[in-house]
């Protein structure tokens, strides 16, 4: 699978429809999938998105019987239970359910952030805060940053 890369800003209409970036749609159409799967990421305060292949892999890793006493199985069950399959309309838009948009604080504008196998959909202000407080400090201490400093 090609990775989801890049950051894009798109408008959300009153009905909750938003255009998925064309480059993300191209990744999904290469898999013969005409939509996205989304779920709220309550830990980060955004929406996580991916293709059906990722959901199928999670499903394959999940046993048929729920063992709530096994903490290792809880994340897969949570992801499967909270996921919503959304189809593209003729304009490449999806209708994100209102409760998912509200949980992420998204109303008029959404930021799509590619992260390889998955992507995130953010409220612009929340993404800026996340970027400034989590991403930039982490980037300064990453092994890649140390290699870059050594090249100077």
Which pLDDT score is estimated for 73? 66
Which pLDDT score is estimated for 58? 79
Helix, strand, coil percentages (3-state) for the chain, rounded to 5, are: 40, 25, 35
Q: Can you tell me whether residue 124 is helix, strand or coil?
A: helix
User: What does pTM read for this prediction?
Assistant: 0.83
Q: Which residues of the chain have pLDDT under 50?
A: 152
Domains and CATH numbers, the chain: 7-123 (3.40.1550.20)
Report long-range pairs for 12-17 (Cβ below 8 Å, ≥24 apart).
12/96, 12/101, 12/106, 12/107, 12/108, 12/109, 12/110, 15/95, 16/95, 16/96, 16/97, 16/98, 16/101, 17/89, 17/93, 17/94, 17/95, 17/96
Longest Cα–Cα distance of the chain, Å, equals: 55
Which pLDDT score is estimated for 37? 96
Which pLDDT score is estimated for 56? 86
pLDDT for 101-137, tens place per residue?
Answer: 999 999 999 999 999 999 999 999 999 999 998 776 6
Q: Token digits for 98? A: 């209102």
């Amino acid at each position: 699978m090609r990775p989801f890369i890049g950051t894009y800003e798109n408008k959300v209409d009153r009905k909750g429809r938003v255009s998925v970036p064309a480059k993300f749609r191209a990744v999904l159409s290469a898999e013969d999938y005409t939509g996205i799967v989304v779920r709220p990421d309550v830990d980060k305060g955004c929406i996580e998105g991916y293709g059906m292949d990722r959901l199928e892999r999670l499903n394959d890793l999940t046993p048929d019987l729920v063992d709530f006493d096994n903490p290792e199985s809880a994340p897969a069950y949570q992801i499967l239970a909270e996921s919503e399959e959304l189809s593209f309309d003729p304009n490449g838009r999806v209708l994100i359910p209102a409760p998912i948009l509200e949980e992420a604080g998204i109303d008029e504008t959404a930021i799509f952030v590619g992260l390889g196998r998955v992507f995130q959909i953010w409220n612009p202000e929340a993404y800026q805060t996340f970027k400034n407080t989590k991403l930039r400090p982490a980037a300064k201490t990453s092994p890649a940053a140390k290699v870059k400093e050594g090249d100077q």
